[in-house]
Amino acid sequence: MATSEIAPDVSLVQAYPDAPALRFDNVSVGFEGKDVLENISFEVKRGETRILLGPAGVGKSVLLKLANGLIKPDSGRIYVFGFEITSMREEDLYPLRDCIGMVFQESALFDSLTVRDNVGYRLAEDHLPEDEIDRRVAQALCFVELDHTMDKYPSELSGGMRRRVAIARAIVSRPSLILYDSPTGGLDPITSTTIIELVIKQRDVYKTSSIIVTHRLQDAFMIVSHRFDCNTNKMEPLPPNQTDPQTSFLILHQGRLAFDGSTHDLIHSDDPFLKEYLS
Ligand SMILES: Nc1ncnc2c1ncn2[C@@H]1O[C@H](COP(=O)(O)OP(=O)(O)O)[C@@H](O)[C@H]1O
Ligand SMILES: [Mg+2]
C-alpha cells in the first residue's frame, strides 16, 4: 500500500497553514460548580505529538473532548487548525471534526455492527460511495494489521484487537489531528506495546499531529524513545540519549498545566512535583 494513498484531506486544514493544529488559550471548565481545568494554554504544532499525563480524574478526557468541540469551555478559546471553535455552531463544527480522529477510552465500538461497519461508520454518515468506503476501511484495517477481521463483531475480538479497530476507525477519515484517550488502558503490557507501536507508526509515517493521553509512564517513554522504520515495517529504538524531537509532554496536576515542554526538560526538571511523579 502506497503511503501517499492515505494522506489527510487538506482543504480546511490548510485554510490557515501557519496556525497550529490545536491551541488552547486560557481555557477553564468545571462541572456542577467544581473547577476541573483552570486557565489551560498550550499548542500542538503541525506534525507534533503531545503526550498528556496526569492522575485519574484530573481532566485529561475533558481536555480531549474540549479539543473536539464535544464540550464547550466556561471561558477561554480553543482553535483547531486556526478556526476558533468555542463560538462555532454545532453544525459548522462537523466538517472540522471530520479532520480529527478520536480514539475513545474503552474503544467505544458499536457491538451490533461488524468491524467493517464500525470502521466505516463516519464515511457512511458522510455518504461516501460503498466501494470507496470498502477501500478506505480495508486500508485502515491493514494499517492496524486486522484486515482479516472485517466481518467479525467486536464481541469476537480480544481487548487489544478492539482497541486496534478503534484506531482504524479514528484514522479512516485520514485525520490531520488524532486524539488518543488512554489507548492502552486496561491492556496487558505486551498488547499495550502493539498499540504504542501503532501510535508511533501513525506519527512517523503520516506525520499526524496528536495528543496521546496516558497514565502509564512506560508508554510515554516508549513513544519518545522509538521511531517507526518504514523499510523494516517495525518500531525500533532511537540511539541512546536521543528522543523524538516532534514529541513532547503536557502534565496536568490539580486542574492546571504543571508541565509543558520537551522530554529533556521533563527529565531534568527540578520541580518537586515532577520529580516525585517521574520517580
Ligand atoms: N460530563 C460531566 N459532568 C460532570 N462531571 C464531569 C463530566 N465529565 C467529567 N467530569 C468530571 O471531571 C473530572 C475530570 O474527568 P476526566 O477528564 O474524565 O478525568 P481523566 O483525567 O481521568 O480523564 C472528574 O472529576 C469527572 O468526574
Ligand atoms: Mg479519562
| CATH label of the domain that carries residue 190 | 3.40.50.300
Ramachandran assignment for 54, one of left (phi > 0), alpha (psi -120 to 50 degrees), beta (any other): left
Cell of 62: 475533558
CA R_g for the chain: 18
Nearest ligand for residue 56 CA = 1
Q: What does the pLDDT read at residue 216?
A: 87
Q: How far apart are CA 127 and CA 153, in angstroms?
A: 23
**Contact 266 CB / ligand 1 (< 6 Å):** no
* Substitution site in 28, 31, 32, 58 for ligand 1 pocket (most atoms within 8 Å of beta carbon): 31
Q: Residue 64 CA: which ligand 1 atom is closest?
A: 17
Domain membership flag for residue 147: no
Q: How far apart are CA 157 and CA 17, in angstroms?
A: 40
For 49-84, letters b (16+ CB in 10 Å) and e give: bbbbbbeeebbbbbbbbbbbbeeebeebebbbbbbe
Domain membership flag for residue 122: no
Protein residue with its CA nearest to atom 4 in ligand 1: 31
Protein residue with its CA nearest to atom 14 in ligand 1: 59
Give the containing element (helix H, strand E) for 129.
none
Q: What does the pLDDT read at residue 54?
A: 92
Domain membership flag for residue 159: no
What residues in the chain have per-residue pLDDT under 50? 1-8
Q: What does the pLDDT read at residue 10?
A: 64
Range of the domain at 12: 3-99+175-278
Domain membership flag for residue 11: yes
**Contact 129 CB / ligand 1 (< 6 Å):** no
- Contact criterion met (CB below 8 Å) for 206 and 246: no
Q: What does the pLDDT read at residue 7?
A: 42
3-state helix, strand, coil in the chain (%, to 5): 35, 25, 40
Q: Give bridge partners of residue 81 from the DSSP assignment.
A: none
Domain count, the chain: 1
Over the stretch 29-62, which tens digit does the pLDDT of each residue have? 999 999 999 999 999 999 999 999 999 999 999 9
Q: Give bridge partners of residue 84 from the DSSP assignment.
A: 79
* Substitution site in 58, 62, 105 for ligand 1 pocket (most atoms within 8 Å of beta carbon): 62
Domain membership flag for residue 34: yes
Domain membership flag for residue 89: yes
Distance of CA 183 to CAs 35, 97, 195, Å? 26, 20, 7
**Contact 61 CB / ligand 1 (< 6 Å):** yes
Domain membership flag for residue 70: yes
Q: What does the pLDDT read at residue 95?
A: 86
Q: What does the pLDDT read at residue 110?
A: 95
Q: What is the mean pLDDT of the chain?
A: 92
Q: How far apart are CA 209 and CA 184, in angstroms?
A: 19
- Contact criterion met (CB below 8 Å) for 236 and 253: no
Protein residue with its CA nearest to atom 10 in ligand 1: 31
- In the reported structure, the alpha carbon of residue 32 is separated from the centroid of ligand 1 by a whole-number distance in angstroms of 11
- Contact criterion met (CB below 8 Å) for 120 and 85: no
Domain membership flag for residue 141: no
Q: What does the pLDDT read at residue 6?
A: 42
Q: What does the pLDDT read at residue 2?
A: 38
Over the stretch 180-217, which tens digit does the pLDDT of each residue have? 999 999 888 998 999 999 999 999 999 999 999 998 89
